Structure 1
Amino acid sequence: MPIWINQSDGIQEISVLLFDRFSNYCLANTVEPMRAANDALGRTAYRWRLLSLDGGPVTSSSGMQLMPDSKLSDMPGGDALFILPSYAYRTYGTPACLDALRAAAHRFETLAGLDAGSWLLAEAGLLNGYNATIHFDEFDRFSERFPDVMAHRERWIIDRNRMSAGGATTAFELMQHLIASTHGAAVSIEIAGLFMQGGDGAGAQSSRTPGDRRVQRALALMRDNLEAPLTVAVLARAAGCRQRDLEDRFRRTFGATPRTVYRQLRMAEALRLVRDGDLSIAEIALRCGYSDPSAFTRAFRTTHGHAPRNIKV
């Protein structure tokens, strides 16, 4: 696991290195989940900057010009650097570019190759001995060109302080996973619903267990029963599996138990209701499955870091 995704109490500093003919879709799928996470959490959990090698403008594959915030060498570092070339990526592997990436590897906690970004990381020797993936159209060339990289046909891969995703949709899935790993499944599920991505909000993990209807069914039941929470045993029976099986499926999908995910969903709803400002704390507590307002307040503070009355409406 990369270090930065576990920094739940701080602001994660992310930089995205763009090259001419980058994919707007891939960029949006990287940045928008972070923006949505900030909105869902009600605070700045992610801050991002757009970079180019020389600090000059870059033009996307659809002809949209973008002015980066800085050039790569001027950035002192951060939690993660996402490398995003999309088309003509092999022409960017110049000595100057590869040297800049090697230098950046000493300043950033984690490096991630998006779309064809793994090619440049591998060209710089920064993926030797790591598991990695790339856009499936380039996979055969990638695995033949870089025998020291352990290439896999996966949608996305995290290996220690290296990450890779093979395209725009998988970039979204990777971001969903990172956000869920840091801030809980409820935030990830809310973001998935916002962008209408995936029935269970599980991102790439659900793609690795395609169409896990039992997880989706359990999540739907959780959402429909926030006021009177069901037991995990009841959820499992309704989902058509044993309790242990459902627990294993949730761990694979979210890295958390059904009970934990259920609590996160209830606390996410509580935050929404507190922000709306229309209900008393006692009423919100009841709507989120707490008969005791004091117990609700303690759970809310544990989850969100503040008592409900201290949340800005």
Structure 2
Amino acid sequence: MVTIPESRDTLAPVRPGSLRAMKPRAEGPRLSVGFILAKRFTLCAFANFVDVLRLAADEGDRSRPILCSWTVLSDTMDPVASSSGITVQPKERLGDPRRFDYIVVVGGLMDETPSLGPAYHQFLHRAAAAGIPLVGVCTGAFFLHQAGLLDGYRCCVSWFHHSDFLEEFEGLDPVADQIFVVDRDRLTCSGGASSAHLAAYLVDKHVGRAQASKSLHIMIIDDALQAEKPQPGLPLDLKTRDPIVQRALLLMQQNIDTPISVQDIAQKMGNSKRQIERHFRLALDTSPQAAFLDMRLDFARHLVENSQKSVAQIAVDCGFCDSSHLSRMFRRRYGCTPQSFRRPVAVQD
């Protein structure tokens, strides 16, 4: 059970390992969210999150902040440019974080925003100390960790940024095979459409399932997805609706240059090796090992066709021992070596 605060002004203690929950209030919004936008933030992720709140907040599509409220916070009140160049004007100073039920940090282009800055770090630490759950959207998890607020927490990052996270933040094990992760009072999502599903999760929790469904349906999103739904990742020829197989394939993608064993995949997913193998056989009529080899060979073929990398470098990038190993497997799959596959065919007169 979680302790439920009586109002936004009186903060109830948060039981370790749980997410703070609010009961419906007699007056005012049931869900209040403050947004911090990093420079060059991802507009799509921010807009999806806000629109779920907006559509759940009022009857029809009238956008009145009745059941939900939201605002963009700033220490300077300067407009914040998104990665697309469109700017958003903040509405309120940082102030007291206790006026919100959640603080959401929306990230974007990491190379152009090394840090949020000390004022934001202090604000986020005050929020954490007060028991306000913190949310990282897109690369928002990077900024929460930079502020020292993700230590000991599981966090979700996009499969596309998984290696970046590992390089910058040693000792963490980010989750890149789910659309969002809820770990006590830290919530993180991979961005894009997943931010709508995370917002719907909060609306469902604090306002009602009907309002959450209404928001998603108006946004032409059929159903709310659970946190464990696998991220879509790169296009794959290995198509399946089996969530266990999908997650395993994504883990393979994230380790394509350093092949991971089926046992390690099973351990990361919390399944047994035998379960993984059975699901692959039923869903794809193949083994995990064979699927992983096909994936690596497909990627190798893509690099042979679309890059100037040497065969030796392609072998390294695709997790093969050396160019000879790649050539043997490539010939077995495509009937020719990578060198001959790349060589242009002479035009006959």
TM-score (norm 2): 0.53
Aligned twin of 2:221: 197
Moved more, 51-60 or 69-78: 69-78
Task: Name which of 212, 224, 247 aligns with 1:188.
Answer: 212
Cα distance between partner residues in 2 of 1:148 and 1:206: 23
Aligned twin of 1:121: 144
Aligned twin of 1:263: none
Can you give the 5+ residue segments of structure 1 that lack an aligned partner in the other structure? 213-313
Q: Kindly name which structure, 1 or 2, has the bigger radius of gyration based on alpha carbons.
A: 2
Task: Name which of 51, 58, 70 aligns with 1:39.
Answer: 58
Tell me the secondary structure at the aligned position of residue 25 of structure 1. Answer: helix
**Residues 52-90 of structure 1: CA distance to partner in whole angstroms, max 9, x if unpaired?**
232222122222222211232465542110001211364
Can you give the 5+ residue segments of structure 2 that lack an aligned partner in the other structure? 1-17, 232-239, 243-349
Aligned twin of 2:84: 62
Aligned twin of 1:246: none
Cα distance between partner residues in 2 of 1:176 and 1:37: 9
Structure 1 contact 17–53 (Cα < 8 Å) conserved: no
Tell me the secondary structure at the aligned position of residue 131 of structure 1. Answer: coil
**Does structure 1 residue 92 correspond to structure 2 residue 115?**
yes
Tell me the secondary structure at the aligned position of residue 92 of structure 1. Answer: coil
**Does structure 1 residue 168 correspond to structure 2 residue 187?**
no
Q: CA 1:180 to 1:145, structure 2 compared with 1: closer, same or farther past 3 Å?
A: same
Q: CA 1:97 to 1:109, structure 2 compared with 1: closer, same or farther past 3 Å?
A: closer
Tell me the secondary structure at the aligned position of residue 135 of structure 2. Answer: strand
Cα distance between partner residues in 2 of 1:208 and 1:135: 11
Structure 1 contact 80–108 (Cα < 8 Å) conserved: no
Q: CA 1:211 to 1:34, structure 2 compared with 1: closer, same or farther past 3 Å?
A: farther
Aligned twin of 2:32: 13
Structure 2 contact 34–71 (Cα < 8 Å) conserved: yes
Cα distance between partner residues in 1 of 2:158 and 2:150: 16
**Does structure 1 residue 141 correspond to structure 2 residue 164?**
yes
Cα distance between partner residues in 1 of 2:65 and 2:102: 20
Task: Name which of 20, 39, 43 aligns with 1:3.
Answer: 20
Q: State percent identity of aligned pairs.
A: 24
Cα distance between partner residues in 2 of 1:177 and 1:76: 21
Tell me the secondary structure at the aligned position of residue 48 of structure 1. Answer: strand
Aligned twin of 1:301: none
Structure 1 contact 77–108 (Cα < 8 Å) conserved: no
Aligned twin of 2:278: none
Deviation, structure 1 residue 22:
1.6
**Residues 70-112 of structure 1: CA distance to partner in whole angstroms, max 9, x if unpaired?**
2324655421100012113642254454344323323461100
Amino acid at match of 1:64: I
Deviation, structure 1 residue 141:
2.3
Count of aligned positions: 209
Deviation, structure 1 residue 208:
4.8
Amino acid at match of 1:7: K
Amino acid at match of 1:167: G
Q: Trace 1:158-307 onto structure 2 (pairs within 5 A).
A: 158-198=182-222, 201-205=223-227, 207-208=229-230
Cα distance between partner residues in 2 of 1:132 and 1:44: 31
Amino acid at match of 1:3: R
Moved more, 35-44 or 25-34: 35-44
**Does structure 1 residue 78 correspond to structure 2 residue 100?**
yes
- RMSD of aligned Cα (Å): 2.8
Amino acid at match of 1:44: I
Cα distance between partner residues in 2 of 1:77 and 1:140: 36
Structure 2 contact 156–181 (Cα < 8 Å) conserved: yes
Amino acid at match of 1:2: L
Structure 2 contact 31–207 (Cα < 8 Å) conserved: no
Structure 1 or 2: larger helix share? 1
Amino acid at match of 2:50: V
